[in-house]
Amino acid sequence: MGEANAVEVRDNPEEKRYEAWLDGELAGFAAYIPADGMLVLPHTEVGDAHEGKGVGSALARHALDDIRARGLRVMPTCPFIASWMRRHPDYLDLAFNAPASRVSD
């Protein structure tokens, strides 16, 4: 009950947000603003009834995995997303100001 793996996250482009669904109910969302070659993530919200169930982490991971798959960068102006990225440094390369990765010389 309320396990993180029960959270389903999907993009809702009409609302410009990633939505997290838990047990058929909207549990939270991460809003985005499309920009030149990136998505700005300004706000993440998890409903009070769903806090502590991994909803925020599922949103962050899915959004960032989707951004990577689309070949975009991210500007995490949302404090939660920015903090999540710092705790998961394998996502820091997605930041709009991250140095370009280098191929061996």
How many other C-beta atoms are found inside a 10 Å radius of the C-beta of residue 66? 16
Q: What is the pLDDT of residue 100?
A: 60
Total count of domains within the chain: 1
Does residue 39 lie within any of the structural domains? yes
Q: What is the pLDDT of residue 104?
A: 37
Q: Each residue's pLDDT tens digit in the chain (105 positions)?
A: 444 448 999 999 999 999 999 989 999 999 999 999 999 999 999 999 999 999 999 999 999 999 999 999 999 999 999 999 999 999 999 999 876 654 333
Pairing of strands 73-75, 25-35: unpaired
3-state secondary structure of 19: strand
CATH at 67:
3.40.630.30
SS (H, E, C) 52-97: CCCHHHHHHHHHHHHHHHCCCEEECCCHHHHHHHHHCHHHHHHECC
Q: What is the pLDDT of residue 14?
A: 97
pTM of the shown model: 0.86
Does residue 102 lie within any of the structural domains? no
